[in-house]
Each structure stands twice: as C-alpha cells, then as structure tokens.
Amino acid sequence: VAENILLINDPLRQGEQWAYCSAAYKVYAAILDVQEKPSSAESLRGASNGAAIAIAMSIYNLKLKDIVGTTRFNDKNLATWELAIQAMKEWPKMEENNIYSAIESDQEEGLERLSINLETCANNVSAQKMWVDLYRTMRMEGMLTE
C-alpha cells in the first residue's frame, strides 16, 4: 500500500489501494473475531466500509469537476458512478482473496505483510474520511444514488 494514497494520480490505481485497505481491515476483523475481540472487530469492519466508499469516490473523482454545481447526473458521469459502485463492491473481494491466499501460502510472511499494510492504511485514515465526508455530502444533496 502506498504511504500516501491520495498522491496516486490515477483514480483507478488509487481505488485499488483503497480496495486493499478495505479487504485488509475485513481480514483483520475476522482474526479479531476468532480472538474474541468483537468491539475491535466491529470497528475494523466500519473502517473497511469507509475504505470501500473511498474506492468509489476516488474513481468518481474523474467526473467530480464535471458535476460541481449540478444536482443531477448526466449519462457521462452516471456511467463513471456505475463503475465506481461496481468497484466498491467487487474490488475488496478480490483483494481479500489475495490476502487469504498469501496467508495460506506462507502464514508468517502473509500476516506480517498484512500488519505492515494495515498500518499504512491506518496512516491514510484522514484521506479516507475526506472521501467518506464527500460521499455523505453528495448523498445528502441528492447527487448520488446507492
């Protein structure tokens, strides 16, 4: 995971980084469930959901400049939003499979890599919150669906 995800200029590559964070939070939440730490696990599931929203918003950022000041979608930005929603739902699943596969292949190395990347994801939480806040604002204004 990149040290500063927001510095990734390509929205699709940035979305991939958020997908990894979403999946990593979810995998670690599952580990905490096994360790009987339900409150910590639930907190990480919330972080996973926030990272998933960041996927959609980083991709949709391609079109944000086109819709500032508008209250409705046009066909161009609707197609981008549909891609963003699909990525938000599917990309974390792919990354979750990759994480579990790495752990299955070499448990010690896979868990160490997960831990290092989780720390980097946590260091990007202010950027994640920015995307979540923007998403909420756009939803309140009726500019986004889903």
pLDDT digits (tens, 9 = 90+) for 70-117: 555 566 677 888 899 999 999 999 999 999 999 999 999 999 999 999
4-30 confidence digits (pLDDT tens): 999 998 889 999 999 999 999 999 999
Of the pLDDT bands very low, low, confident and very high (cuts 50, 70, 90), residue 40 is very high
The residues, any chain, with a CB within 8 Å of residue 6's CB and separated by 6 or more, are 14, 124, 127, 130
**Contact call for residues 115 and 44 (beta carbons, < 8 A):** no
pTM of the complete model: 0.88
Determine the pLDDT at residue 105. 97
Of the pLDDT bands very low, low, confident and very high (cuts 50, 70, 90), residue 32 is very high
The mean per-residue pLDDT over the stretch 112-128 comes to 95
Determine the pLDDT at residue 143. 73
Determine the pLDDT at residue 63. 63
DSSP letters, 133-145, are HHHHHHHHTT---
> Residue 35 CA to chain centroid, in angstroms?
25
